[in-house]
Amino acid sequence: MLTYLAYGLAIALNLMVLYIGARFLLVPRPSAAGYGVPAKEDGDPAYLTIKGVRDGTYGVLGLALLAFAGPTAEAWFMLVVALAPLGDTVIVLRHGGTKAVALGIHFATAVVMLINAALLFAVS
């Protein structure tokens, strides 16, 4: 049962990150608003594209690790990549975003990723 939970949560997290990356590539301004720091109309759209590529890459890499390298590699990946939403928490707080978005989305995501890392280490 624990194995199904660990793998299922890893797949769900990776698919969600892949979805966020695709969303930033397809509809960058609404995605930035959902991220917690709306993009300026006169801002450089390349930064929004970079976020999309980064998140999309993380999602694909996470799925590939789970499929081809196993739960230990995926656990280390989740442990390290949890730094991204922790950083996003700080970015949102420092750039005028709400605490609700910073903590309720980004920080909570980091916590779930760390829990998933622990579950994956437990089943490996």
pLDDT digits (tens, 9 = 90+) for 71-118: 999 999 999 999 999 999 999 999 999 999 999 999 999 999 999 999
Phi, psi of 32, deg, nearest 5: -65, -40
Give the domain ranges of the chain: 2-123
Q: What is the pLDDT of residue 43?
A: 82
CB 1 within 8 A of CB 104: no
pTM, 2 dp? 0.94
pLDDT tens, position by position, 10-35: 999 999 999 999 999 999 999 999 99
Count of other CB atoms within 10 angstroms of residue 89: 22
